[in-house]
A and B are shown apart, each in its own frame.
Chain A
Amino acid sequence: DVKVTQSSRYLVKRTGEKVFLECVQDMDHENMFWYRQDPGLGLRLIYFSYDVKMKEKGDIPEGYSVSREKKERFSLILESASTNQTSMYLCASRAISYEQYFGPGTRLTVT
């Protein structure tokens, strides 16, 4: 079974803080993704990575950056958290068959 884990289920941060969200997969997948999900807006792709140290912007990359130093680990960084970044953040890992498997999600609240 594919296992994708995320570092925190719930996180509360203050405006202006630097926030790190970490995702780890155990299936040796090359492709990993970060989404955010908001009511009424669905899943929106922030960034994805198709190999170590390789990354591409998704649909809403502004205010975010990513890091992939090891194949199994993909981190999302909020450089200076703002209240409009309060959301559910979902990491996914992609199999060669294009199936994406999601981690449990991190519900981030920025106050």
Chain B
Amino acid sequence: QKEVEQNSGPLSVPEGAIASLNCTYSDRGSQSFFWYRQYSGKSPELIMSIYSNGDKEDGRFTAQLNKASQYVSLLIRDSQPSDSATYLCAVNNFGNEKLTFGTGTRLTIIP
């Protein structure tokens, strides 16, 4: 079982709709959770961090964390063509210097 799992996609969403990206993780000791956006040929860019259960909103982005169910999700409201990218989920266990990355979900926003 992979430590961090994401649906590879591609996920196609009409412009203006809500895009929902999901990530599950296996280590119950995980403490910190991150979403990165990566455009083709570019490096990952941190867009959201979440550390406690519940929702965290930043502009059109909402991260949701449920530690009991071991999943973290990213919602993108009012999706724009510029949101088309691969989204990487990353998880950290307290005291571990490293992040564990999922393999990413490719999102395409259809105009």
A61 within 8 A of B: no
Q: Chain B binding site: helix, strand, loop or mixed by DSSP?
A: strand
Residues of B within 8 A of A101 (CB): 46
Q: How many A-B residue pairs have CB under 8 A?
A: 46
Interface bin, chain A: 20 to 34
Within the assembled complex, what's the spacing in Å between the Cα atoms of A104 and B38?
11
B42 touches A48 (CB 8 A): no
A97 touches B49 (CB 8 A): yes
Min CB gap B7→A, angstroms: 14
- A33-B98, A40-B103, A42-B103 provided; 13 other pairs, C-beta below 8 A? A31-B97, A41-B103, A42-B104, A43-B44, A43-B101, A48-B98, A94-B97, A97-B32, A98-B31, A98-B34, A99-B46, A102-B44, A104-B42
Interface set of B (CB-CB < 8 Å, partner A): 31-32, 34, 36, 42-46, 49, 88, 90, 92, 97-99, 101-104
